[in-house]
Protein backbone atom coordinates (compact mmCIF):
# COMPACT_ATOMS: atom_id res chain seq x y z
CA UNK A 1 0.00 0.00 0.00
CA UNK A 2 1.45 3.37 -0.98
CA UNK A 3 0.49 6.60 0.81
CA UNK A 4 0.33 10.13 -0.45
CA UNK A 5 -0.27 13.39 1.38
CA UNK A 6 -0.90 16.33 -0.90
CA UNK A 7 -0.74 19.83 0.54
CA UNK A 8 -2.28 18.75 3.85
CA UNK A 9 -3.13 21.58 6.23
CA UNK A 10 -4.40 21.41 9.80
CA UNK A 11 -4.85 24.11 12.44
CA UNK A 12 -6.20 24.04 16.00
CA UNK A 13 -7.64 27.51 16.45
CA UNK A 14 -4.66 29.83 16.06
CA UNK A 15 -2.12 27.00 16.36
CA UNK A 16 -1.17 25.87 12.87
CA UNK A 17 0.10 22.28 13.06
CA UNK A 18 0.48 21.53 9.33
CA UNK A 19 1.16 24.23 6.75
CA UNK A 20 0.98 22.15 3.58
CA UNK A 21 2.54 18.71 3.93
CA UNK A 22 3.48 16.85 0.74
CA UNK A 23 4.71 13.28 1.12
CA UNK A 24 4.79 9.99 -0.72
CA UNK A 25 5.43 6.74 1.12
CA UNK A 26 6.16 3.79 -1.14
CA UNK A 27 4.65 0.35 -0.80
CA UNK A 28 6.52 -1.70 1.82
CA UNK A 29 8.74 1.15 2.87
CA UNK A 30 9.97 2.01 6.39
CA UNK A 31 9.40 5.75 6.27
CA UNK A 32 10.23 8.07 9.17
CA UNK A 33 8.92 11.49 10.10
CA UNK A 34 11.60 13.19 12.17
CA UNK A 35 11.74 16.70 13.55
CA UNK A 36 11.73 18.75 16.73
CA UNK A 37 8.85 18.80 19.20
CA UNK A 38 5.77 20.51 17.80
CA UNK A 39 6.79 20.33 14.12
CA UNK A 40 3.65 18.34 13.20
CA UNK A 41 4.78 14.69 13.13
CA UNK A 42 1.94 13.30 15.25
CA UNK A 43 -0.68 15.38 13.47
CA UNK A 44 0.57 14.02 10.13
CA UNK A 45 0.35 10.46 11.45
CA UNK A 46 -3.16 11.07 12.80
CA UNK A 47 -4.26 12.43 9.41
CA UNK A 48 -3.07 9.15 7.83
CA UNK A 49 -4.86 7.09 10.50
CA UNK A 50 -8.06 9.10 10.02
CA UNK A 51 -8.03 10.23 13.66
CA UNK A 52 -7.65 13.79 12.41
CA UNK A 53 -9.37 15.47 9.46
CA UNK A 54 -7.21 17.82 7.37
CA UNK A 55 -8.58 21.34 6.85
CA UNK A 56 -7.26 21.20 3.29
CA UNK A 57 -5.36 18.82 1.04
CA UNK A 58 -5.73 15.11 0.44
CA UNK A 59 -4.61 11.80 1.94
CA UNK A 60 -4.51 8.95 -0.58
CA UNK A 61 -4.01 5.21 -0.11
CA UNK A 62 -2.85 3.58 -3.34
CA UNK A 63 -3.99 6.68 -5.19
CA UNK A 64 -7.51 6.71 -3.70
CA UNK A 65 -8.65 9.64 -1.56
CA UNK A 66 -9.58 8.30 1.88
CA UNK A 67 -11.08 11.50 3.29
CA UNK A 68 -14.51 9.91 3.77
CA UNK A 69 -13.12 6.66 5.21
CA UNK A 70 -13.32 6.33 9.03
CA UNK A 71 -10.23 5.10 10.93
CA UNK A 72 -11.61 1.59 11.52
CA UNK A 73 -12.06 1.06 7.78
CA UNK A 74 -8.56 2.20 6.75
CA UNK A 75 -6.89 -1.07 7.74
CA UNK A 76 -4.19 0.76 9.64
CA UNK A 77 -2.40 -0.51 12.77
CA UNK A 78 -1.17 2.05 15.28
CA UNK A 79 1.32 1.83 18.15
CA UNK A 80 1.69 4.81 20.46
CA UNK A 81 4.44 5.84 22.85
CA UNK A 82 2.55 4.64 25.90
CA UNK A 83 1.57 1.05 25.38
CA UNK A 84 -2.14 1.15 26.01
CA UNK A 85 -2.44 -2.52 26.92
CA UNK A 86 -5.52 -3.62 28.85
CA UNK A 87 -4.17 -4.31 32.36
CA UNK A 88 -6.83 -6.88 33.24
CA UNK A 89 -6.25 -8.95 30.10
CA UNK A 90 -3.39 -11.40 29.60
CA UNK A 91 -0.84 -10.89 26.84
CA UNK A 92 -2.73 -13.41 24.72
CA UNK A 93 -6.06 -11.63 25.26
CA UNK A 94 -4.50 -8.27 24.46
CA UNK A 95 -3.16 -9.55 21.14
CA UNK A 96 -6.45 -11.35 20.36
CA UNK A 97 -8.25 -8.05 20.95
CA UNK A 98 -6.60 -6.85 17.74
CA UNK A 99 -8.55 -9.56 15.92
CA UNK A 100 -12.00 -8.66 17.30
CA UNK A 101 -13.20 -7.19 13.97
CA UNK A 102 -11.04 -9.38 11.74
CA UNK A 103 -11.02 -13.04 12.72
CA UNK A 104 -8.18 -14.71 10.81
CA UNK A 105 -9.04 -16.67 7.69
CA UNK A 106 -7.76 -20.26 7.53
CA UNK A 107 -6.46 -20.46 11.10
CA UNK A 108 -7.81 -20.19 14.63
CA UNK A 109 -7.44 -17.09 16.78
CA UNK A 110 -5.18 -19.20 19.05
CA UNK A 111 -2.86 -20.07 16.17
CA UNK A 112 -2.79 -16.52 14.88
CA UNK A 113 -1.92 -15.17 18.34
CA UNK A 114 0.85 -17.78 18.70
CA UNK A 115 2.29 -16.73 15.34
CA UNK A 116 2.21 -13.06 16.36
CA UNK A 117 3.84 -13.77 19.73
CA UNK A 118 6.58 -15.70 17.93
CA UNK A 119 7.01 -12.82 15.47
CA UNK A 120 7.70 -10.36 18.30
CA UNK A 121 9.78 -12.89 20.23
CA UNK A 122 7.32 -13.44 23.10
CA UNK A 123 6.63 -17.13 22.70
CA UNK A 124 5.57 -18.59 26.05
CA UNK A 125 4.58 -15.21 27.53
CA UNK A 126 0.91 -15.39 26.47
CA UNK A 127 -0.52 -16.13 29.91
CA UNK A 128 1.26 -13.27 31.65
CA UNK A 129 -0.44 -10.05 32.71
CA UNK A 130 0.96 -6.78 31.30
CA UNK A 131 2.28 -5.78 34.73
CA UNK A 132 4.50 -8.88 34.69
CA UNK A 133 6.32 -7.58 31.61
CA UNK A 134 9.17 -5.12 31.08
CA UNK A 135 8.52 -1.91 29.16
CA UNK A 136 10.14 -3.37 26.06
CA UNK A 137 8.03 -6.52 26.25
CA UNK A 138 4.87 -4.44 26.60
CA UNK A 139 5.75 -2.56 23.44
CA UNK A 140 6.24 -5.91 21.68
CA UNK A 141 2.71 -6.88 22.77
CA UNK A 142 1.37 -3.54 21.51
CA UNK A 143 3.11 -4.20 18.20
CA UNK A 144 1.69 -7.73 17.96
CA UNK A 145 -1.79 -6.39 18.69
CA UNK A 146 -1.46 -3.68 16.01
CA UNK A 147 -0.23 -6.29 13.50
CA UNK A 148 -2.93 -8.85 14.38
CA UNK A 149 -5.47 -7.84 11.71
CA UNK A 150 -2.69 -7.78 9.05
CA UNK A 151 -2.91 -4.01 8.45
CA UNK A 152 -1.94 -2.51 5.10
CA UNK A 153 -0.21 0.32 6.94
CA UNK A 154 1.59 0.37 10.29
CA UNK A 155 1.83 3.71 12.09
CA UNK A 156 4.29 4.02 14.97
CA UNK A 157 4.26 7.15 17.11
CA UNK A 158 7.46 7.29 19.19
CA UNK A 159 6.96 3.66 20.26
CA UNK A 160 10.40 3.43 21.88
CA UNK A 161 10.77 6.79 23.56
CA UNK A 162 9.59 5.61 27.00
CA UNK A 163 12.30 2.91 27.08
CA UNK A 164 15.87 3.19 28.28
CA UNK A 165 18.63 3.71 25.71
CA UNK A 166 19.92 0.14 25.46
CA UNK A 167 16.43 -1.33 25.12
CA UNK A 168 15.57 1.31 22.53
CA UNK A 169 18.50 0.27 20.34
CA UNK A 170 17.60 -3.39 20.70
CA UNK A 171 13.93 -2.91 19.98
CA UNK A 172 14.46 -0.68 16.96
CA UNK A 173 16.42 -3.49 15.31
CA UNK A 174 13.60 -5.83 16.20
CA UNK A 175 11.01 -3.43 14.74
CA UNK A 176 12.95 -3.21 11.54
CA UNK A 177 13.22 -7.01 11.30
CA UNK A 178 9.47 -7.49 11.84
CA UNK A 179 8.67 -4.75 9.32
CA UNK A 180 10.95 -6.37 6.71
CA UNK A 181 9.54 -9.81 7.38
CA UNK A 182 5.97 -8.60 6.82
CA UNK A 183 6.76 -5.97 4.18
CA UNK A 184 4.11 -3.71 5.70
CA UNK A 185 4.22 -0.04 4.70
CA UNK A 186 5.34 1.71 7.88
CA UNK A 187 5.37 5.32 8.98
CA UNK A 188 7.47 5.90 12.06
CA UNK A 189 7.47 9.09 14.10
CA UNK A 190 10.46 10.08 16.21
CA UNK A 191 12.19 13.23 17.38
CA UNK A 192 15.41 11.23 17.72
CA UNK A 193 17.56 11.88 14.67
CA UNK A 194 19.96 9.00 15.37
CA UNK A 195 17.01 6.61 15.47
CA UNK A 196 15.64 8.04 12.22
CA UNK A 197 19.00 7.61 10.48
CA UNK A 198 19.35 4.04 11.78
CA UNK A 199 15.98 2.50 10.91
CA UNK A 200 14.56 4.26 7.87
CA UNK A 201 14.49 3.32 4.21
CA UNK A 202 13.65 6.98 3.66
CA UNK A 203 12.87 9.82 6.01
CA UNK A 204 11.23 13.23 5.98
CA UNK A 205 12.71 15.96 8.15
CA UNK A 206 9.85 18.18 9.31
CA UNK A 207 10.06 21.71 10.60
CA UNK A 208 7.27 24.05 11.61
CA UNK A 209 4.41 22.19 9.94
CA UNK A 210 6.23 21.48 6.70
CA UNK A 211 8.49 18.86 5.16
CA UNK A 212 11.97 20.35 4.97
CA UNK A 213 13.65 17.48 3.07
CA UNK A 214 12.97 13.88 2.04
CA UNK A 215 15.44 11.18 1.07
CA UNK A 216 17.31 8.12 2.21
CA UNK A 217 19.27 8.62 5.44
CA UNK A 218 22.70 8.78 3.78
CA UNK A 219 21.73 11.34 1.15
CA UNK A 220 19.91 13.65 3.56
CA UNK A 221 22.78 13.42 6.06
CA UNK A 222 25.42 14.07 3.42
CA UNK A 223 23.54 16.64 1.35
CA UNK A 224 21.33 18.76 3.59
CA UNK A 225 19.57 21.44 1.58
CA UNK A 226 18.94 23.87 4.41
CA UNK A 227 20.72 24.99 7.54
CA UNK A 228 17.88 23.54 9.60
CA UNK A 229 18.35 20.06 8.14
CA UNK A 230 22.15 20.35 8.34
CA UNK A 231 21.99 21.13 12.03
CA UNK A 232 19.07 18.87 13.00
CA UNK A 233 20.19 15.63 11.41
CA UNK A 234 23.43 14.83 13.18
CA UNK A 235 25.75 17.45 14.54
CA UNK A 236 27.16 20.12 12.26
CA UNK A 237 29.36 23.19 12.40
CA UNK A 238 27.41 25.78 10.41
CA UNK A 239 29.79 28.68 9.75
CA UNK A 240 28.47 31.80 8.05
CA UNK A 241 30.82 33.41 5.59
CA UNK A 242 31.20 35.07 2.22
CA UNK A 243 32.26 33.30 -0.95
CA UNK A 244 34.63 35.47 -2.92
CA UNK A 245 34.91 33.72 -6.22
CA UNK A 246 36.66 31.01 -8.10
CA UNK A 247 39.69 29.06 -7.09
CA UNK A 248 41.25 26.44 -9.31
CA UNK A 249 39.83 23.76 -7.01
CA UNK A 250 36.52 25.45 -6.10
CA UNK A 251 35.66 28.66 -4.29
CA UNK A 252 37.27 30.69 -1.58
CA UNK A 253 35.04 31.41 1.44
CA UNK A 254 35.96 33.95 4.09
CA UNK A 255 34.79 33.10 7.60
CA UNK A 256 35.97 35.74 10.06
CA UNK A 257 39.72 36.10 9.53
CA UNK A 258 40.08 32.72 7.87
CA UNK A 259 39.80 31.73 4.21
CA UNK A 260 38.63 28.26 3.30
CA UNK A 261 38.63 26.51 -0.04
CA UNK A 262 35.44 24.59 -0.76
CA UNK A 263 34.39 22.48 -3.76
CA UNK A 264 31.97 24.14 -6.21
CA UNK A 265 31.44 27.63 -7.54
CA UNK A 266 29.90 30.02 -5.01
CA UNK A 267 29.62 33.77 -4.62
CA UNK A 268 28.04 35.90 -1.91
CA UNK A 269 26.67 34.97 1.50
CA UNK A 270 27.02 31.26 2.28
CA UNK A 271 27.01 28.88 5.22
CA UNK A 272 29.74 26.23 5.31
CA UNK A 273 28.57 23.09 7.09
CA UNK A 274 31.35 20.87 8.37
CA UNK A 275 30.59 17.69 10.28
CA UNK A 276 32.52 17.15 13.54
CA UNK A 277 33.97 13.95 12.07
CA UNK A 278 35.34 15.93 9.08
CA UNK A 279 37.53 18.11 11.29
CA UNK A 280 40.97 16.70 11.87
CA UNK A 281 44.15 17.79 13.63
CA UNK A 282 46.26 16.30 10.81
CA UNK A 283 44.36 17.83 7.88
CA UNK A 284 46.51 19.51 5.26
CA UNK A 285 43.78 21.90 4.01
CA UNK A 286 41.69 24.70 5.48
CA UNK A 287 43.63 24.93 8.70
CA UNK A 288 42.66 27.20 11.58
CA UNK A 289 43.71 27.48 15.19
CA UNK A 290 41.15 27.08 17.98
CA UNK A 291 41.20 26.72 21.75
CA UNK A 292 39.87 23.61 23.47
CA UNK A 293 36.93 24.50 25.69
CA UNK A 294 35.67 21.07 26.76
CA UNK A 295 36.13 17.40 25.92
CA UNK A 296 33.65 14.55 26.33
CA UNK A 297 34.78 10.92 26.29
CA UNK A 298 32.44 8.84 24.11
CA UNK A 299 34.12 5.44 24.37
CA UNK A 300 35.29 5.28 20.76
CA UNK A 301 36.83 8.76 20.88
CA UNK A 302 36.18 12.28 22.07
CA UNK A 303 33.77 15.03 21.28
CA UNK A 304 35.86 18.14 21.63
CA UNK A 305 34.33 21.61 21.87
CA UNK A 306 36.50 24.47 20.63
CA UNK A 307 36.33 28.19 20.87
CA UNK A 308 37.44 29.68 17.58
CA UNK A 309 37.56 33.48 17.98
CA UNK A 310 34.19 33.49 19.72
CA UNK A 311 32.61 30.80 17.51
CA UNK A 312 31.81 27.36 18.89
CA UNK A 313 33.20 24.49 16.84
CA UNK A 314 32.88 20.81 17.68
CA UNK A 315 35.11 17.98 16.43
CA UNK A 316 35.14 14.20 16.82
CA UNK A 317 38.73 13.26 17.59
CA UNK A 318 40.58 10.10 18.64
CA UNK A 319 42.37 11.94 21.43
CA UNK A 320 41.48 14.79 23.76
CA UNK A 321 43.86 17.70 23.06
CA UNK A 322 44.32 20.68 25.37
CA UNK A 323 45.24 24.31 24.80
CA UNK A 324 45.40 25.66 21.27
CA UNK A 325 45.07 23.22 18.41
CA UNK A 326 45.20 23.49 14.63
CA UNK A 327 42.19 21.92 12.96
CA UNK A 328 41.48 21.53 9.28
CA UNK A 329 39.15 19.88 6.79
CA UNK A 330 39.11 18.62 3.25
CA UNK A 331 37.46 21.02 0.73
CA UNK A 332 35.18 18.18 -0.40
CA UNK A 333 33.86 17.67 3.12
CA UNK A 334 32.16 21.06 3.45
CA UNK A 335 28.51 21.36 2.38
CA UNK A 336 27.99 24.92 1.20
CA UNK A 337 24.53 26.48 1.46
CA UNK A 338 23.76 29.80 -0.24
CA UNK A 339 22.02 32.21 2.08
P1 LIG B 1 5.99 16.11 19.64
O2 LIG B 1 7.28 15.53 19.14
O3 LIG B 1 6.19 17.05 20.77
O4 LIG B 1 4.92 15.09 19.88
P5 LIG B 1 4.91 16.74 17.01
O6 LIG B 1 5.95 17.06 16.01
O7 LIG B 1 4.31 15.39 16.99
O8 LIG B 1 5.46 17.08 18.45
P9 LIG B 1 2.21 17.68 16.83
O10 LIG B 1 1.76 16.92 18.03
O11 LIG B 1 1.75 17.22 15.50
O12 LIG B 1 3.78 17.85 16.83
O13 LIG B 1 1.74 19.18 17.03
C14 LIG B 1 1.98 20.21 16.07
C15 LIG B 1 1.47 21.54 16.62
O16 LIG B 1 0.07 21.50 16.76
C17 LIG B 1 2.01 21.89 17.99
O18 LIG B 1 2.26 23.27 18.03
C19 LIG B 1 0.90 21.50 18.93
O20 LIG B 1 0.93 22.29 20.09
C21 LIG B 1 -0.34 21.75 18.08
N22 LIG B 1 -1.42 20.81 18.43
C23 LIG B 1 -1.43 19.49 18.19
N24 LIG B 1 -2.57 18.93 18.61
C25 LIG B 1 -3.32 19.92 19.12
C26 LIG B 1 -4.64 20.00 19.73
N27 LIG B 1 -5.41 18.93 19.86
N28 LIG B 1 -5.07 21.23 20.14
C29 LIG B 1 -4.30 22.32 19.98
N30 LIG B 1 -3.06 22.32 19.43
C31 LIG B 1 -2.58 21.15 19.00
**Model confidence over 282-313: pLDDT tens digits?**
899 999 999 999 999 999 999 999 999 999 99
| CATH code for position 34 | 3.40.50.300
Which pLDDT does position 267 carry in this prediction?
92
Residue 19 in 3-state DSSP?
Answer: strand
User: For the chain, which ranges sit under pLDDT 50?
Assistant: none
Among protein residues, the one whose CA lies closest to atom 30 of ligand 1: 12
Instruction: Identify whether residues 265 and 160 lie together within a single domain.
Output: no
Instruction: Identify whether residues 287 and 313 lie together within a single domain.
Output: yes
Instruction: Identify whether residues 195 and 305 lie together within a single domain.
Output: no
List CB contacts of 108: < 8 A, sequence separation 6 or more: none
| Residues 114, 308: Cα–Cα separation, whole Å | 60
Instruction: Identify whether residues 166 and 128 lie together within a single domain.
Output: yes
Which pLDDT does position 226 carry in this prediction?
96
Residue 196 CA to ligand 1 center (angstroms) comes to 19
Residue 39 CA to ligand 1 center (angstroms) comes to 7
Instruction: Identify whether residues 170 and 314 lie together within a single domain.
Output: no
Instruction: Identify whether residues 201 and 244 lie together within a single domain.
Output: no
Residue 189 CA to ligand 1 center (angstroms) comes to 13
Instruction: Identify whether residues 155 and 190 lie together within a single domain.
Output: yes
Among protein residues, the one whose CA lies closest to atom 20 of ligand 1: 38
What is the end-to-end Cα distance of the chain in Å, rounded? Answer: 39
| CATH code for position 253 | 2.40.50.100
| Residues 249, 126: Cα–Cα separation, whole Å | 65
Residue 20 CA to ligand 1 center (angstroms) comes to 15
Q: Which residue, of 179, 207, 229, is where some domain finishes?
A: 229
The ligand 1 atom at the shortest distance from the C-alpha of residue 43 is 11
Residue 40 CA to ligand 1 center (angstroms) comes to 6
Instruction: Identify whether residues 179 and 259 lie together within a single domain.
Output: no
Q: Which residue, of 187, 206, 229, is where some domain finishes?
A: 229
Residue 174 in 3-state DSSP?
Answer: helix
Domain count, the chain: 2
Domain range enclosing 277: 237-338
> Is any ligand 1 atom within 6 A of the Cβ of residue 37?
yes
Instruction: Identify whether residues 219 and 242 lie together within a single domain.
Output: no
* Packing angle of the helix pair 135-147, 165-182 (nearest 10 deg): 20
Among protein residues, the one whose CA lies closest to atom 2 of ligand 1: 37
> Is any ligand 1 atom within 6 A of the Cβ of residue 21?
no
Which pLDDT does position 78 carry in this prediction?
93
Among protein residues, the one whose CA lies closest to atom 26 of ligand 1: 12
Instruction: Identify whether residues 202 and 324 lie together within a single domain.
Output: no
> Is any ligand 1 atom within 6 A of the Cβ of residue 271?
no
The ligand 1 atom at the shortest distance from the C-alpha of residue 18 is 14
CB 287 within 8 A of CB 327: yes
Instruction: Identify whether residues 24 and 138 lie together within a single domain.
Output: yes
Q: What is the pTM of this model?
A: 0.93
Exposure class string for 154-189: b at 16+ Cβ within 10 A, else e: bbbbbbbebbeeebbeebbebbbebbeeeebbbbbb
Residue 54 CA to ligand 1 center (angstroms) comes to 14
Residue 106 CA to ligand 1 center (angstroms) comes to 42
| Number of neighbouring beta carbons within 10 Å of residue 123 | 11
Q: Which residue, of 229, 256, 273, is where some domain finishes?
A: 229
Mutate to test the pocket of ligand 1, among 8, 11, 40 (most ligand atoms within 8 A of CB): 40
Instruction: Identify whether residues 174 and 85 lie together within a single domain.
Output: yes
> Is any ligand 1 atom within 6 A of the Cβ of residue 38?
yes
Amino acid sequence: MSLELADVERAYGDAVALRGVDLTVRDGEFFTLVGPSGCGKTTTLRCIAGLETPDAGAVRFDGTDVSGVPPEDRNVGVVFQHYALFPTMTVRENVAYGLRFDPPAGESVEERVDDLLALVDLTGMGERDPDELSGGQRQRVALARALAPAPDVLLLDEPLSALDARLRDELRLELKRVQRELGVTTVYVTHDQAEALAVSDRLAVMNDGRVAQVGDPESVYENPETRFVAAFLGENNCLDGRAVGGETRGSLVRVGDASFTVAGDYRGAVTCCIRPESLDVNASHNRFEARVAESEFLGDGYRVHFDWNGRSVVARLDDAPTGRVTLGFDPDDAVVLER
